[in-house]
Amino acid sequence: MFNKKNILNFTFEELEKEIISDNEPKYRAEQIFSKIHRDNVNSFSEITNIPVLLRKKINELYHIPELRIIKITDSGHSITKKFLFEIVDENSKSDNFIETVLISEDDRNTICISTQIGCNAGCEFCATGKMGFRKNLEAGEIISQVYQVKKLTGIMPTNIVFMGMGEPFLNYDNLLKSLKILTHYRGSGIPSKRITVSTVGFKGKIRKFADDLTSDENKSIRRIKLALSLHSTDNGFRESIMPVSGKYKLSEIYKEISYFYQKTKNKITYEYIYFEGLNDTDDDVKRLGKVTRMVPSNLNVIPFHPIDFELKRPLDIYNSKKDINKLLSNKKLFDFIARLKNIKTVVNLRSSSGIDINAACGQLALKSNKNNLH
Ligand code: SF4
């Protein structure tokens, strides 16, 4: 099976080329793509609207791999589920696991998906960063998280956020491919305005993303939103908690953000983890007010979510502050938000859903792998 090509990795246009090169009529690609990405069939034998001979032929050349579910953990406080999947492929080592989170609130079902196993950006507050980098996910492995969650829960996610394990822009080609597949009208046709891609910001990458979203051949991904993991408006402090940001000054990232907005007209979201006493001064508030007025945007303030790793300076003070309730109900956090509102910043307090199962922002680190089920 493993010398066969993974059909989930093909965009619609790529599949069409494959089919034509096999002397089949073009419309067969539409039939196959729809069955795989809309109906999420498990095998080619279920594609009954194509001739038996063609089914046999594609079965010899391709396969439809599935992420193997290892564990589903339910939050006791909210309708949040964390999924531990195992990737089964020819290079499968012992540790090819990823985590995906489904957050259900009112009529919204948001799936938070991963693009890498681990991450080498090294953000000090992030459990995934503490794992180091293990593997870039293929496009098929990224989209399979959506399909598997749908099969396991019966819920088709209404919103997708690329905020799980990994930095999406460090796996750019597979990110772009997965976006094209998920939004294609012949497949699951998820509206692009319901998808958000989050990045810590890399010079050149935000600009390229804006160009790709607005290119004529990529109309289906045109409205995808961008979230910047900001966490500080001070280059020095930001670098101390996000080492990778040392390469690019905030002024350069802001220029790219402006470019992104001018090109796409899509609103920006800034993600800002609240670190009491470290990024909440009056100067921080003033700078945030300025940054968020640069282009239409909103600011998501996120309480710090404890992780099971030792933290280095300047976040080492949080090693002894792991009382979740105190972190979430901190009066100073609400005062910070009030000060931002006073200067007319569009600011929200981001939900900490799933914090009790290590599924909240920054907490994904395979802590429930199959050898360590809790
Ligand atoms: S916050 Fe994102 S970029 Fe930073 S280490 Fe974690 S996964 Fe990587």
The one-digit pLDDT tens for each residue of the chain (374 residues) are: 558 999 999 999 999 999 998 899 999 999 999 999 999 999 999 999 999 999 999 999 999 998 999 999 999 876 899 999 999 865 555 568 999 999 998 889 999 999 999 999 999 999 999 999 999 999 999 999 999 999 999 999 999 999 999 999 999 999 999 999 999 999 999 999 999 999 999 989 999 999 999 999 999 999 999 999 999 999 999 999 999 998 899 999 999 999 999 999 999 999 999 999 999 999 999 999 999 999 999 999 999 888 888 888 899 888 766 677 777 778 999 999 999 999 999 999 987 777 777 777 777 877 654 444 32
- 307 CA distance to ligand 1 middle (Å): 13
The CA 42 to ligand 1 mean position distance, Å, reads: 32
Superfamily holding 68-357: Aldolase class I (3.20.20.70)
> Which residue in the list 112, 119, 126, 361 is annotated as catalytic?
361
Q: Where are the domains of the chain?
A: 5-63, 68-357
- Which atom of ligand 1 lies nearest, measured to the CA of 242? 4
CATH T-level assignment (fold) for domain 5-63: DNA polymerase; domain 1 (1.10.150)
DSSP strand pairing (195-199 vs 133-136): unpaired
> Is 129 close to ligand 1, i.e. is its CB under 6 Å away?
yes
| Residue of 99, 124, 167, 256 with catalytic role | 99
For ligand 1, atom 4, name the residue with the nearest CA.
123
119 included as an active-site residue: no
What residue has token string 């280059």? 235
Conformational region of residue 354, where left means phi above 0, alpha means psi within -120 to 50, and beta covers everything else: left
Active site residue 361: yes
| DSSP β-bridge partners for residue 342 | none
Instruction: Return d(Cα 179, Cα 176) in angstroms, integer.
Output: 5
Ligand 1 atom nearest to CA at 200? 3
Please check whether residue 135 is in contact with residue 94, taking contact to mean a CB–CB distance below 8 angstroms.
no
Give the whole-angstrom CA distance, residue 324 versus residue 303: 9
Q: Is the omega angle on the peptide bond into residue 25 within 30 degrees of 0, that is, cis?
A: no
CA distance 363 to 302: 13
Whose tokens are 């050149």? That residue is 204
Indicate the pTM of the whole model: 0.94
CA dihedral 347, 353, 359, 364 (to 10 degrees): 10
Residue 201 Cβ < 6 Å to ligand 1: no
CB 200 within 8 A of CB 229: yes
DSSP sequence for 217-247: GGGGGTT-EEEEE---S-HHHHHHH-GGGGG
Q: Which residues of 241-266 are buried (b: 16+ CB within 10 A; e: fewer)?
A: bbebbeebebeebbebbebbbeebeb
Q: Do the Cβ atoms of 102 and 156 come closer than 8 Å?
A: no
